[in-house]
Structure 1
Amino acid sequence: MRILFVAAEASPLAKVGGMGDVVGALPKVLRAMGHDVRVFMPYYGFLPDKLEIPSEPIWWGTAMYQKFAVYETRLPKSDVPLYLFGHPSFMPRRVYYGEDEEWRFTLFSNGAAEFTWNYWKPNVIHCHDWHTAMIPVWMNETPDVKTIFTIHNLAYQGPWRWFLERITWCPWYMEGHNVMASAVQFADEVTTVSPTYAEQIQTAAYGETLEGLLSFVSGKLSGVLNGIDVESYNPETDRFIVENYNADTVERRKANKVALQEELGLVVDSGVFLVGMVSRLVEQKGLDLVIQIMDQFLSYTDAQLVVLGTGDRYYETQMWQMASRYPGRMSSHILFNEALSRRIYSGCDTLIMPSRFEPCGISQMLAMRYGCVPIVRRTGGLVDTVFYNDPMNEAGTGYCFDRYEPMDFLTAMIRALEAYRYKDQWRKLQQRGMWQNFSWEKSAYEYIKIYNRVLGNPDEGKPTEPSQTSGVKV
């Protein structure tokens, strides 16, 4: 199959959220399975700092009365062709934001459509979030090109119809009040990044006003759980951590904990309960719950807290202020630092994710990969990846709570703190998390089924399971 991924992000070149992880990893796996997979993304101003880009474009095109260029290179550490959409609107050293955000991503979508019509024609275009949502609408007139539309976060739905009619071509048959609604109607298949989120967005609580439409198209709506790069995120070989280990030598994590405490200015004590949070600091991630209960938790325990991430100024300020009240016990780092995030996963005892909603979530899977026990709210992809700890039956991988309430979150935190006192049981809990199989191969098999379905190809059946990876029981 010829498959073109069109997206605003692709890790490690441009990554803001989980979309970057998907587009940066899934094409590599699909290409290794024998498919001709390529990626189309904007040529951001910072990309020349990260990879070699030819000075001459491979193709020139026109969209929305704008001339653009397309440059060809490769995704880092792969043979996946990467097409970069070159236009001055993407030259600033940022991915999102700016007054022209809706206009420039509509231009990007239009450019991708022109590229497929005139230069390289795939069998399937895999579109990601509202930035590419007009492509399924335009491709409705090209029946030999099928479209898959993946919703990474339904809260961001893109420009309204009235704005689109002023800046680009809206076909006579187009329906929907914004680009997200239109993509849901015209894509051949709609996916989300976890099975539970696919069900939840059909309800008023999570549907962001599109629940009726999503219920109507439920026959072509499915959820495919994201994976993680188990080769890059491998505690046995990770060069960013102090001490390497695997599930059988998990006790060696203690060296990483002590090193993390020293690095962040915390009181060095390998026996203290060390809590981590690696997240965008926005309402979706449950920051209001953290603010409401963490003072109480830190006041009545000897636990320590590490926060890493950026987001809304209000939540950033709250984290700074809380850290100032607990010197030596709380450390807030308002920045994006990939290496530090790995050291947090490998050094903390638990990772908190009290999300209001969570389409999939990557951090909880990375945490378990490193033997860091997650504490999560049961929503979206967190339901599909983290299961209640049951020490009596030696089952489960973390601690969960259901209601979005401060006391429910605090109760889960205290339960984890109490369980941490029983070292043998805690070690088994860590190992169960490390043995989980979150490889991208599992997700790739599911997407291949979807591609074959929209193309009318016969179901090839489920391939054999991926081979065992180091430190992971499959």
Structure 2
Amino acid sequence: MKRGELKILFVASEAYPLVKTGGLGDVLYSLPHAVHARGADVRLLLPGYRALLRQLEQVRIVGWIDVRGAEGIDSARILETRHPDYAFPLWVVDCPPLFDRPGNPYVNANGQDWLDNAERYTVFSRVAALLALDSLELGWKPDVVHAHDWQTGLVAAFLAEHPERPKTVFTIHNLAYSGYFPHGDFVRLQLPSHWWSPEGVEFHGGLSMLKAGIVYADAITTVSPTYAAEICTPEFGYGLDGLLLSRSYKLHGILNGIDTRLWDPHTDARLPAHYSAARILPGKRRNKQALLGRFLPAVDDAMLAAPLLGLVGRLVEQKGIDWVLAAIPVMLAETDARFVLLGSGQVSYEQKLTRLAKQHPDRVFVEIGYDESLAHLIEAGADMFLMPSRFEPCGLNQMYSLRYGTPPIVYKTGGLADTVVDADEAALADASANGFVFESPDTAGFLDAIRRALELYRQAPRWRRLQQTGMQQSFDWSDSAAHYLDLYSI
């Protein structure tokens, strides 16, 4: 089949701008659009969360699907809608008992997983599989179903039961989240008994929805080549490394892209000033002034000259936030650097960062939560970007940072290793350097990389070349979309 004739159903638990908790949401906006732009016929299926439904205007009910839940039959309305940010139809699984609730898709107001997550995403996956088989006779049957992360891991398993089924592709965005539930949930949901084995969905006595995707999908992808190799090792495999190694014949590492329309310092509507690789100043400096001005009553030339280090991300151990907390006091004592951090996560990290900001109100600026406009301003206004993740399947913020002329400081892992070239003397000489990479997983290695970055920052011509190298790189979805279309077509 020609690639342009492919019908592809994307199935996911979130997609920007309708619902987003992290990079998964960004990918489920950008990748379907990149594939659609190359001629594929696309649909995107999402759960009918309350916040999502409130954003929909013209909605058409295309049918009802009843499937097995934990206590009996769950009935879902299937809605079709068009959204101004999407170039193709959206399908929504509207099942109020499971999805019509406030707040985060996965956790309650206290940060605890919703107790019925196993039922919620099993029902969603059952409905997705039936839609993929055109059970509503809508006249649209996909050639490929592309499911994402543990919430949709069962889709491939349900489809594997049917001989006349579409091809299934399962993408692991982060192996650390496996969708692990007790055996009792498996029984209550009346999942097929032959799935319950070490060769099926059973994992350490429980049900792993992520494992189901790995076992039953026709192809598995991860979001960077290095991460695809890393998860086949005990260090990064979370107990699934042996399984992944045995499935390496169908495992592909395809680097995520970024949406270069939303993330472009030359046109970004969220920025007070625009700039490009050809003319970084004065635009970047004006963004820095606006960023500092958000937290300080007045901004003088000395403040603008001092380095400003930014961070946007989840405040959890995976992201190396403990290294950041250890490094900031050292840098405050040694240098004139300032720090601006945006994110939320582990309460203890939130509290420690807030305390640091109160202790150093003119040097450390912290905003707990997420603010899309502030995220863009940090990428544009900071001089360098902190991203010391212990592991990072792909990472998007380092690519945003490179595009915005804000060299990232990263640990050598996953997608960070695939995108950031360390500014050692050789790489600076051949103009391939675009950031700072440390290989020792500790505070000392992180501090060394920060010190090297600050030293180069004081060398304006070399720093400008480093910025331009990153800004001139291509991180759009074109290459990645072509890889996926090749995979879909096999």
TM-score, scaled relative to structure 2: 0.90
Cα distance change on mapping 1:168 and 1:76 into 2, 3 Å:
farther
* Residues in 2 aligned to 1:266 and 1:437: alpha-carbon distance in whole angstroms: 38
Q: SS where residue 66 of structure 1 aligns? A: strand
Opposite residue 296 of structure 2, the aligned amino acid is G
Q: How many residues align?
A: 452
Q: CA deviation at 1:173?
A: 4.9
Q: 1:160, CA displacement in angstroms?
A: 3.7
Does the 8 Å contact 1:266/1:331 carry over to 2?
Answer: no
- Counterpart of 2:28 in structure 1 is 23
RMSD (CA atoms):
1.4
Aligned counterpart, 1:137: 157
Of 328, 342, 360, 2:394 maps to 360
**In the aligned structure 1, how far is the partner of 2:265 from the partner of 2:144?**
36
d(CA) in 2 for partners of 1:432, 1:179: 41
Q: Percent identity at matched positions? A: 40
The partner residue of 1:116 within 132, 144, 158 is 132
After superposition, the C-alpha distances for 1:90-120 in whole angstroms (9 at most, x for unaligned) are 1113211122222211111111112222034
Which residue number corresponds to residue 101 of structure 2? 92
CA distance in 1, matches of 2:322, 2:286: 32
Aligned 8 A contact 2:285 2:304 in 1:
yes
Change (3 A) 1:447 1:171: farther
Please identify, of 408-417 and 39-48, the stretch whose mean Cα deviation from structure 2 is larger: 39-48
Paired amino acid for 1:42: P
| Selected match of 1:159 from 180, 186, 190 | 180
**C-alpha distance 160-85 of structure 1, shift in aligned 2 (>3 A):** same
2:332 pairs with 1:310: no
Match of 2:362 in 1: 328
Map of 1:149 onto structure 2:
170
1:283–1:2: structure 2 CA closer, same or farther, 3 Å change rule?
Answer: same
Please give the secondary structure, in 2, of the residue aligned with 1:328: coil
SS of the residue corresponding to residue 15 of structure 1 reads coil
Which residue number corresponds to residue 468 of structure 2? 431
Distance 2:327 2:358 in 1: 16
> What residue identity is the alignment partner of 1:77?
D
Secondary structure, in 3 states, of the residue corresponding to 1:72?
strand
Q: Is the 8 A contact 1:375 1:400 kept in 2?
A: yes
Name the structure 2 match of 1:461.
none
User: 1:171 Cα deviation (Å)?
Assistant: 5.2
Does the aligned pair in 2 maintain the 1:266–1:327 contact within 8 Å? no
Given that residues 123 and 146 in structure 1 are in contact (C-alpha distance below 8 angstroms), is that contact kept between their aligned partners in structure 2?
yes
Shift of 1:73: 1.0
Please state if 1:420 is matched with 2:424: no
Q: Deviations over 1:202-238 (max 9, x none)?
A: 0000000000000000010011100011011111111
Q: Secondary structure at the match of 1:134?
A: helix
Counterpart residue number, 1:471? none
Question: Residues 118 and 181 of structure 2 are in contact (CA less than 8 Å); yes or no, is this contact kept in structure 1?
Answer: no
Map of 1:448 onto structure 2: 485
Q: Aligned partner of 2:220: which letter?
A: V
Equivalences for residues 34-73 of structure 1 within 5 A? 34-54=39-59, 56-64=60-68, 65-73=73-81
Task: Find 1:12's aligned residue among 11, 17, 25.
Answer: 17
What is the SS of the residue equivalent to 2:304?
Answer: coil
Shift of 1:243: 0.9
SS, match of residue 362 in structure 2: coil
Output one character per residue of 1:396-455: Cα deviation in whole Å (capped at 9) or x when no partner: 1100001211100000000000100001110110011101101111110000111111xx
Is 2:201 aligned against 1:176? yes
Counterpart-to-counterpart distance in 2, 1:387 and 1:50: 41
Offset at residue 303 of structure 1 (A)? 0.3
Q: TM-score, normalization: structure 1?
A: 0.93
Cα deviation, 1:56-106, whole Å, max 9, x if unaligned, reads 521101011111111111244232110011011211132111222222111
Matched-pair contact (CA < 8 Å) for 1:265–1:331: no
1:396 aligns with 2:405: no
- In structure 2, the gaps of 5 or more residues are 1-5, 108-113, 203-207
CA distance in 2, matches of 1:447, 1:153: 18
- TM-aligned CA deviation for residue 265 of structure 1: 2.0
Q: 1:75 to 1:445 in 2, by over 3 A?
A: farther
Q: Is the 8 A contact 1:63 1:114 kept in 2?
A: no
More moved, 386-395 vs 271-280: 386-395
Match of 1:282 in 2: 316
- Give the secondary-structure state (helix, strand or coil) at the position aligned to 2:278: helix
Pair 161,445 (structure 1): closer, same or farther in 2 beyond 3 Å: farther
Q: Distance in 2 between matches of 1:315 and 1:10?
A: 27
Q: Distance in 2 between matches of 1:411 and 1:53?
A: 55
What do residues 162-198 of structure 1 show as CA deviations (whole Å, max 9, x unaligned)? 2223214225256132222222111100000000000
Is 2:313–2:343's contact at 8 Å kept on the other side of the alignment? yes
Give distance in 2, aligned partners of 1:48 and 1:451.
Answer: 30
Shift of 1:319: 0.9
Q: Displacement of 1:140 after TM fit? A: 1.0
Aligned to 2:429, the other structure's residue is in SS state: coil
- SS of the aligned residue for 2:437 comes to strand
Give the secondary structure class of the aligned counterpart of 1:308.
strand
Report matched runs for 1:230-379 at 5 Å: 230-252=260-282, 253-265=284-296, 268=299, 269-379=303-413
Of 62-71 and 108-117, more deviation after overlay is shown by 108-117
Separation in 2 of the partners of 1:76 and 1:435? 30
